[in-house]
Amino acid sequence: MSFWRKETGADELIAIADIVLDKTKDYIQYNTYNYPFSHLKYGTKILGFHSNLKMWEKEAKDKKTWRNHYRQSDFEWNEEGKALFREMYMIDKVNSHLQMNLRWKDGQSGKQQFNRGKDIYYYFKKEEAFL
């Protein structure tokens, strides 16, 4: 399931995802495991949405990522191709992040939460254009 159509821009998707996601900051999760030293807890750093965005932007500019990507043949490595690759790459990454992190909450599915965030985004965009 994709939250976003591919024809529209990645920047709008990022703004809507920022509205929808609650955990936008990095945090450390402590886990215990079943083994003889299970009383020891090991912290794992979980990256938030903004940290992932910075990492994805950096990866989208890298030619190595482009060479290893499954849609490499669709884009050439010139200025126009870089912009198109960035749009497609960011949409794919944000879509997958939303699919993993939007769960049932307050009786709404992930798609319903995303649609509510989209309505909020476009409402304030219209209000800003009106003023």
Domain boundaries, the chain: 10-130
Percentages (nearest 5) of helix, strand, coil residues in the chain: 60, 10, 30
**What's the pTM?**
0.81
**SS3 for 1?**
coil
Alpha-carbon span 20 to 35, nearest angstrom? 38
Q: What is the pLDDT of residues 41-60, one digit of tens each?
A: 777 888 889 999 999 999 98
Q: What is the pLDDT of residues 63-100, one digit of tens each?
A: 888 888 877 777 788 888 888 888 888 998 999 999 88
The DSSP output letter for 86 is H
Q: Which residues lie across from 45 on neighbouring strands?
A: 28
Res. 38: pLDDT tops 80: no
